[in-house]
Amino acid sequence: MPICTNCSHPTPYLYTVYNTANNLRLEQCTQCHEFADPYVEHDTLTLILDLMLLKRNVYRHLLFNRGSGVRRIGHSEPHQSTPHSTIPGGHENKLRVPSANEEKAESARTKARWTHILKLGTALIIVDAFIRWTHLGVSQPFDPSQLGITSWNRAAIESFIRTLVGCFIETIAFHAGVTLACFILLKSLNWVRQWRKSGVSNDANTLSGVQQEFRYSHVPLTLLYSSLTKLFLLFLLSIWRPDAPSESARPLPPEYNVTSLFSNPVIIGAFEILDEDNLDREWIVRNVLGGMAAGFGLRVVLDCHPAFTTMVVLVGWAVKTTVAKLVSEWVMAGIDERMAGEIWLAYSIP
């Protein structure tokens, strides 16, 4: 059953279609009296932008309401197809099936969800591999003696394939670690709930709409959605790198010197920390922003305390780092063993 994107209360319908696909009315939530899911009217670009801005409601729309929640009135053909949902990789919206076919419908939704995970995951892994490949500088210089329309030679392609395989293995390890941690966490919370409220914990009224509709296939999909912000910023940094300081650049006049303007050593130290030579922007985006985004997404899909989702992310990081140590030597072939491990691990955390 779909849920309200504002209060997560279960609702049978998100919108009603009259006669034509363009004639629809949004349904109100019976609990908060807001529109149950305004995102059914939004286009794909709006959804992607809200995902990058880490808005809770768009997570609930994409994870729990896609492909469901439509009611049709006034159609002459009862089995007429419904309009496509405006979400990335959208699937057809379908009428809520009768209770006798709920298991079959749930199986179809789960299959569609895993298909979307494979498609989205493949695309994001390729983007992540390209970003890491360009940053690590494993491509070989162009050989003028080779005639062709591209500077990619055999060594460069091989290094990219190694990076792609390494990213794929690490992503699988991270998702497996997070999913296992979520399984242990939810089982533990359920046991605590049963212990505190014996005989009542299994009642649906004690669970939120998110908890009632949660499936473990939501975990990898949430992690993929949460990585969009990180990968978008990293992709921009890989294309538009900061210009290297020119040796012929003239020094600033004394009156514009930072030291003369701010003689306080604390302020001078702060400026030095923000200097390009000392601040690794790619590392900050991948580790700090990526970790925060993953924790926020898990906070939405698990509907539990942020401290628990932080522990889940840390478990995933630990598993991924362990796997990264095993694959770093193979991926960074041709580089010193100790240096290869340090370079690859520095950018292996999600």
d(CA 76, CA 2): 25
Put the strands of the sheet holding 15-18 in their side by side order: 24-26, 15-18, 70-73
Per the rule left: phi > 0, alpha: psi between -120 and 50, beta: everything else, 152 is beta
55 Rama class: left (phi>0) / alpha (psi -120 to 50) / beta? beta
| Beta-carbon count within 10 A of 34 CB | 14
pLDDT at position 73? 74
Confidence at residue 84, expressed as pLDDT on a 0 to 100 scale: 39
Coil vs helix vs strand at 66: coil
The DSSP H or E segment spanning 320 is helix 306-331
Q: Facing residues of 3 across strands? A: 10
Q: Is 222 within 8 Å of 301 (Cβ atoms)?
A: yes
Contacts of 68 (CB under 8 A, 6+ apart): 1, 2, 14, 93, 94, 96, 109
Strands (E), the chain: 15-18, 24-26, 70-73
What pLDDT score was predicted for residue 335? 56
Q: Chunked in runs of 10, what are the mean pLDDT values of the chain (350 residues)?
A: 89 82 82 90 90 92 83 56 40 44 78 92 92 68 47 75 90 94 93 75 65 91 92 81 53 52 62 61 77 92 92 91 85 61 61
Q: Among 332, 310, 309, 130, which Cα is nearest to 237's?
A: 130
